[in-house]
Structure 1
Amino acid sequence: MNITKTNVDALNAVVTIEVAKEDYASKVEKILGDYRKTASIPGFRKGAVPMSLIKKQYGKAVVLDEVNKLLQERLNQYLVEEKIEILGNPIPKETKEFDFDADAFTFEFELGLAPEFSVDLSKANVTRYNITVSDEMLEEQLERIQKQFGALVTKEKVEDGDDLKGTFVNEEAGINHTTSITVDTFKRKTDIKKFIGKKVGDVVTVNTKGLFDDEHKLMEYLGLDHEAVHGLDVEVQFTIEGITTNTKAELNQELFDKLFGAGVVNSVEELKEKIKEDALKQFEQQADQKFLNDVTESLLENTKFELPAEFLKKWIQTVGETPLTADQAEEEFAKSEKGLRYQLIEGKVVTENNLQLTFEEIKTYAATVIKQQMAQFGQTDPSDADVENIVNRVLSNQEEAKRLSDQIMSEKIVNLFKDKVKATSKDVTFDEFVKVMYGEA
């Protein structure tokens, strides 16, 4: 078997494979011999069918199958050995009718070659946000904790500060969302007064414009997406389905132990520090995601290279279960081009910075995640054997193993970017960060 590659240009090539009869003949003969042993053809005893008849009935199909297997095996082997990086999969070029009596066959495959380029992380121009925890936020969290662990009291009439369960409705605007809300969450005092004295079953009408101190709260309370809430100016009816209030829990050692375990927190000041610590961890994850997104966009903008676009469109036409038209393939390519470009950039970053994963890393990460999940359900000290059993079970699921691997690699990439990307650091409150996240700052 002879394999050669001809470069069409920097991004396209053709691989030619010459297959001789001796490359596959012995396998074909063996398979046909096995068929002969089991073939059941009228007029012949089982195992006594003439080989000429077996070849006539099965020969062409077996030759085609074996030649195809041989082609795939040797082509893949050739690409690996020659370290040829391709995009998509090789596309077989159309050949004239297959001549089963020929002593040799020639096949050609089109390749889309991965482009040569470099990634300069120093060109990324981004801001890295540090989300701070304000005193006001700490007090709100303390208030929330006291209400959460206080005694719940059902009431007949609404008073200021009560919690309501009910449903916001405006059918024309597609709003029909059941939620829980505290009366003083509404921004306007006139809206709050509308609820005072109301009972279960009463309906209160309010306008969405300026209903809360932040339009984003409409997403939570009205069940709308981000695009729908901006400038929303409609009347909504809120049907009251429940009225409750919480007597606040005392900030004492019993509550501290209930929240964090015996002796972990011993004063209100320590509680505030613990709340702040947990909030900063959560904020850091959100800020890291924003940082990763911004670096990604910057790298896409500053890393220029060509793609074998025509080849990829042709490949897209054939890769799915249902063949696509040229126009459909053009549309799919347009949708996927940006993702493909970043996939190539990320691959280059991973390779050049040796960001490989080991199985032990994945196991350790999975064990950490599992322990955190178990702690949430009160299992704060699981045995190593129990954790290992769960880890093995989780990693036996390929989708779950891939999800964990992607999370670890994402963390590695974020840490690399933190180290190598020259970003401008900026402290912001959480509310300011939300506006930046949605492009409103």
Structure 2
Amino acid sequence: MNITRENIDELNAVVKVDIAKEDYAGKVDKILKDYRKNANIPGFRKGHVPMGMVKKQYGQAVLVDEVNKLLQDSLNKYLTEEKLDVLGNPLPKEQENFDWDRENYSFEFELGLAPEFNVDLDLKDPVRKYNIVADEKMVNDQVESIQKQYGKLKTKDVVEEGDTVAGTFKNEEEGIENDTTIELAAIKGKRNLGKFVGAKVGDTLTLKTKNLFEDEHALVNHLSIDQEKANDLDVEVEFTISEINERELADLDQELFDKLFGKDKVTSVTELKDKIKEDAAKQFQQQSDQQLMNDITEKLIENTNFELPKDFLQKWIQTVGEKPLTDEEAAEEYEKSEKGLRYQLIEGKVVNDNDLSVDFNDLKAFASEKIKEQMAQFGQMDPSEKELDDIAARILSNQDEVKRLSEQLMNEKLLKFYKEKMKFDEKEVTYEEFVKAIYK
């Protein structure tokens, strides 16, 4: 067997694999002899079928199968030994009138090669890094929300601002009939709110769905409709009041603190607010980190220039799906996936150049931390090492979970590396300012 490579350019190559009869003949003969031993052909005793008949019936199928196995194994071995960084998979070049009756064969494969490039983390235009803080208004709102959640409901006859109103939405033409409970603080605009204030149990209010709630997604739950319908819904609905309640705020006392955080973990309103800030900071950190990673990704793609074997990749895309794609479909699919491929190559370069690997011990420790976090949500604050090890072992026996956790851990390692090596344009913002900046 002989394998040679012709480099067309820096991104494309053709590999030629020459297979001679001696490369496959022994294996084919052995398989055909085994077939002969076990063949059941009318008119012949088992094991006494003429070899010529066996070859005529099975010979070419066995030959094709063995040559293809040999071809695939030798090509994979060659790519590994030559340390060729290929994109996609090798594509066999078509050969017209291929003749399996010959003894020696030649096959050619097109290769798309990964480009050579460097990743510069010292960007002229630094990435914006948001440091989100919980402002006084957010903390006070959260305190009030806790008081409402743990407060008592007091039934009333007449609606006032701040009340909770239960009732039924109806619109026969749209097929809407749904029982729901509305916090009046969620109603948008003084005009809508004014229709509720002063109303009594049994009253029916006529409301317009458009701009009824502060949260535009609230219609989905309150009317029990899907999001697509809610997006364009602009009709009148009737709301018949069945119950009116005023929520008395819970006292900010030790009983409430113990219920929220455990006995004597928080002992004052000041400590409660500090705890809210601490918890908010953790939540905000996750969101700001995710946004930072997204922005770093975009910047690195924008600032790391290299060519890709576009024609090869489009040709490869045509072959990898359940059904072949047209040239136009493959070009469209390539455009969709090009940015992701570029960052995949950039990420691989950063990982390899800086030894950011994930080993089993890293993965096990990471899985254990995730398990502890989940158990804490259900009040199990101090699981034993054996308990954690047993759960982690079950999770890591699932290859899909191993892949998912490996990707999460690598993402964390990459972000930590970027934070250490890159310069950022840091800005302290409230959560509201962060949302406005990201979704402007």
Q: Compute the TM-score of the two structures, normalised by the length of structure 1.
A: 0.90
Residue 70 (structure 2) aligns with? 70
- Residues 142 and 174 from structure 1, CA distance in 2 versus in 1: closer, same or farther, beyond 3 angstroms? farther
Provide the C-alpha distance between the structure 1 equivalents of 2:202 and 2:293, rounded to a whole number of angstroms. Answer: 47
Provide the C-alpha distance between the structure 2 equivalents of 1:61 and 1:133, rounded to a whole number of angstroms. Answer: 71
- Is contact 2:171-2:238 (8 Å) kept? no
Provide the C-alpha distance between the structure 2 equivalents of 1:351 and 1:241, rounded to a whole number of angstroms. Answer: 65
Letter in 2 for 1:199: V
Deviation, 1:336, is 0.9
CA deviation map 1:145-174 (0-9, x unaligned): 111122344555533212245677899999
Deviation, 1:203, is 3.7
- Is contact 2:129-2:427 (8 Å) kept? yes
- Residues 167 and 319 from structure 1, CA distance in 2 versus in 1: closer, same or farther, beyond 3 angstroms? farther
Equivalent runs, 1:221-240 vs 2, <5 Å: 234=234, 237=237, 239=239
Residue 90 (structure 1) aligns with? 90
* 1:219 pairs with one of 217, 240, 253: 217
- Residues 238 and 286 from structure 1, CA distance in 2 versus in 1: closer, same or farther, beyond 3 angstroms? farther
Provide the C-alpha distance between the structure 2 equivalents of 1:176 and 1:83, rounded to a whole number of angstroms. Answer: 65
Equivalent runs, 1:143-292 vs 2, <5 Å: 143-153=144-154, 155=156, 157-164=158-165, 181-196=182-197, 197-199=199-201, 202-206=204-208, 208-209=210-211, 212=214, 217-220=215-218, 234=234, 237=237, 239=239, 243-292=244-293
- Is contact 1:16-1:107 (8 Å) kept? yes
Provide the C-alpha distance between the structure 2 equivalents of 1:50 and 1:243, rounded to a whole number of angstroms. Answer: 94
Is residue 2:126 matched to residue 1:122?
Answer: no
Provide the C-alpha distance between the structure 1 equivalents of 2:292 and 2:422, rounded to a whole number of angstroms. Answer: 10
Provide the C-alpha distance between the structure 2 equivalents of 1:135 and 1:218, rounded to a whole number of angstroms. Answer: 26
- Is contact 1:366-1:404 (8 Å) kept? yes
Provide the C-alpha distance between the structure 1 equivalents of 2:186 and 2:112, rounded to a whole number of angstroms. Answer: 58
Q: Which moved more, 1:147-156 or 1:4-13?
A: 147-156
Unmatched 5+ stretches in structure 1 = none
Provide the C-alpha distance between the structure 2 equivalents of 1:343 and 1:170, rounded to a whole number of angstroms. Answer: 51
Residue 412 (structure 2) aligns with? 411
Unmatched 5+ stretches in structure 2 = none
Provide the C-alpha distance between the structure 1 equivalents of 2:81 and 2:355, rounded to a whole number of angstroms. Answer: 21
Deviation, 1:97, is 3.4
- Residues 207 and 62 from structure 1, CA distance in 2 versus in 1: closer, same or farther, beyond 3 angstroms? closer
Letter in 2 for 1:110: E
Residue 45 (structure 2) aligns with? 45
Q: Which moved more, 1:4-13 or 1:22-31?
A: 22-31
Letter in 2 for 1:254: E
Provide the C-alpha distance between the structure 1 equivalents of 2:304 and 2:59, rounded to a whole number of angstroms. Answer: 53
Partner SS state of residue 411, structure 1? helix
- Is contact 1:32-1:59 (8 Å) kept? yes
- Residues 293 and 166 from structure 1, CA distance in 2 versus in 1: closer, same or farther, beyond 3 angstroms? farther
- Is contact 2:220-2:227 (8 Å) kept? no
Partner SS state of residue 109, structure 1? strand
Provide the C-alpha distance between the structure 1 equivalents of 2:383 and 2:156, rounded to a whole number of angstroms. Answer: 43
Residue 368 (structure 1) aligns with? 369
Provide the C-alpha distance between the structure 2 equivalents of 1:289 and 1:388, rounded to a whole number of angstroms. Answer: 29
Partner SS state of residue 382, structure 1? coil
- Is contact 1:318-1:324 (8 Å) kept? yes
May I ask how many residue pairs the two structures share in their alignment? 432
CA RMSD of aligned residues (A): 2.8
Provide the C-alpha distance between the structure 2 equivalents of 1:279 and 1:323, rounded to a whole number of angstroms. Answer: 50
Provide the C-alpha distance between the structure 2 equivalents of 1:138 and 1:419, rounded to a whole number of angstroms. Answer: 31
Deviation, 1:272, is 0.9
Deviation, 1:235, is 5.6
- Is contact 1:167-1:176 (8 Å) kept? yes
Provide the C-alpha distance between the structure 2 equivalents of 1:284 and 1:395, rounded to a whole number of angstroms. Answer: 27
- Is contact 1:152-1:245 (8 Å) kept? yes
Provide the C-alpha distance between the structure 2 equivalents of 1:283 and 1:333, rounded to a whole number of angstroms. Answer: 35
Partner SS state of residue 217, structure 2? helix
- Residues 33 and 433 from structure 1, CA distance in 2 versus in 1: closer, same or farther, beyond 3 angstroms? same
Provide the C-alpha distance between the structure 1 equivalents of 2:121 and 2:179, rounded to a whole number of angstroms. Answer: 47
